[in-house]
């Protein structure tokens, strides 16, 4: 199978060069001694309807101003500086020249540090996602790295300098495209301070919960899900543009905040999921069996005692 046909068999896009998204970073991936020129494009966007503030009497748009808390006057952009405030209210002002002296990498090289199994990295570390488009004459090297990672089942841990910050990131193949995910540094992930998570699940409850999970399991198909709130917001705006009113949506029944038996809740959940299951039988039978065994062990002793009395 040719590489062209193989790409289509795996659902890869026919041509990356035709992507017309805006690039936010140009550089190259350093894969050993192989350099792969790439351009990064933002991979995600929000579908949230943008709402603004307006002045009710004349519908003038409300704009936010940067106001000095001492003078109580708007500050022009040329008078803005960056700084850091200490706990005792001392302000350290940082000039543009200060940033230039910091040991921040301005390299346009994405350095591959190592290759690891994807499951070794907890998703809590992932931050933002970018598509990596191959640069001019870089298609062969790009496809080589992509296919090698697919074959190895590993993803690349890399370092990259974005917006004056050195970031830890990973590169992985996804639908034929190499995707770069910036990551949080280990000290940026808070340790959980959560109470009420001690204890163990009861065996019977765990068995029913396992069954409930099995009955609700399936293949992840993201197109099956939708943002009902945003869809309703768009319908509302369209209706108002036409001078119409939307019928009020029926209020969803809120779950009652009542404490119920956990086993009953699991059983009802199974019934609703279409997998009715009887409660596990209480462990009374083993006790009866144990009693029978105990009786059986005692019987020979009685017989021997009878024989002794007879012989006497």
Pick from 124, 196, 110, 226: nearest CA to 160: 110
Q: Is residue 130 assigned to a domain?
A: yes
pTM more than 0.85: no
Q: Is residue 295 assigned to a domain?
A: no
- Integer-rounded Cα radius of gyration of the chain: 33
Q: Which residues form the domain of 137?
A: 3-45+103-188
Take residue 205 and report the two structure tokens written for it: 């409850």
Are the CB atoms for 173 and 131 separated by under 8 Å? no
Q: How many domains does the chain have?
A: 1
pLDDT at 57: 95
pLDDT by residue (tens digit) across 153-210?
999 999 999 887 889 999 999 999 999 999 999 999 999 999 988 889 889 999 999 9
Q: Is residue 266 assigned to a domain?
A: no
- CATH code at 182? 2.40.290.10
pLDDT at 107: 74
Q: Which residues pair with 160 in a beta bridge?
A: 167
Rounded CA-CA distance 38/132 in Å is 6
Centroid of chain to Cα 201? 26
Q: Is residue 117 assigned to a domain?
A: yes
Q: Is residue 195 assigned to a domain?
A: no
Measured from the Cβ of residue 156, the count of other Cβ atoms closer than 10 Å reads 23
Q: Does the structure show a pLDDT above 90 at 25?
A: yes
Q: Is residue 61 assigned to a domain?
A: no
Rounded CA-CA distance 210/214 in Å is 6
User: pLDDT band at residue 309, thresholds of 50, 70 and 90?
Assistant: very low
Q: Is residue 16 assigned to a domain?
A: yes
User: pLDDT band at residue 275, thresholds of 50, 70 and 90?
Assistant: low
pLDDT by residue (tens digit) across 225-234?
888 888 888 8
Are the CB atoms for 184 and 167 separated by under 8 Å? no
Q: Residue 14 burial by CB count (10 A; 0-12/13-18/19+): exposed, middle or buried?
A: exposed
Q: Is residue 52 assigned to a domain?
A: no
pLDDT by residue (tens digit) across 36-94?
999 999 999 888 888 999 999 999 999 999 999 999 999 999 999 999 999 998 999 99
């Amino acid at each position: 199978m040719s590489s062209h046909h193989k790409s289509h068999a795996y659902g890869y896009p026919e041509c990356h060069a035709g992507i017309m998204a805006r690039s936010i970073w140009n550089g190259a991936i350093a894969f050993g001694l192989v350099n792969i020129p790439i351009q990064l494009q933002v991979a995600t966007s929000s579908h949230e309807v943008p709402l603004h503030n307006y002045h009710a009497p004349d519908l003038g748009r409300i704009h936010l101003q940067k106001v000095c808390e001492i003078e109580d006057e708007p500050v022009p952009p040329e008078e803005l500086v960056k700084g850091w405030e200490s706990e005792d209210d001392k302000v350290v002002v940082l000039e543009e020249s200060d940033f230039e002296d910091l040991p921040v990498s301005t390299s346009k090289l994405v350095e591959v540090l190592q290759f690891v199994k994807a499951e070794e990295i907890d998703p809590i570390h992932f931050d933002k996602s970018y598509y990596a488009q191959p640069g001019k004459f870089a298609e062969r090297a790009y496809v080589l790295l992509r296919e090698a990672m697919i074959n190895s089942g590993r993803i690349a841990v890399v370092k990259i300098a974005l917006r004056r910050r050195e970031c830890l990131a990973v590169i992985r193949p996804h639908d034929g495209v190499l995707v770069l995910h910036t990551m949080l540094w280990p000290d940026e992930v808070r340790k959980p301070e959560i109470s009420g998570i001690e204890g163990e699940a009861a065996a019977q409850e765990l068995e029913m919960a396992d069954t409930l999970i099995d009955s609700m399991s399936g293949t992840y198909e993201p197109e099956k899900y939708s943002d009902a709130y945003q869809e309703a917001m768009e319908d509302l705006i369209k209706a108002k543009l036409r001078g119409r009113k939307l019928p009020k949506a029926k209020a969803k029944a809120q779950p009652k905040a009542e404490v119920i038996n956990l086993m009953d809740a699991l059983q009802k959940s199974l019934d609703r999921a279409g997998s009715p299951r009887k409660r596990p039988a209480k462990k009374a039978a083993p006790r009866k069996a144990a009693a029978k065994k105990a009786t059986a062990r005692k019987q020979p002793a009685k017989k021997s005692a009878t024989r002794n009395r007879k012989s006497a």
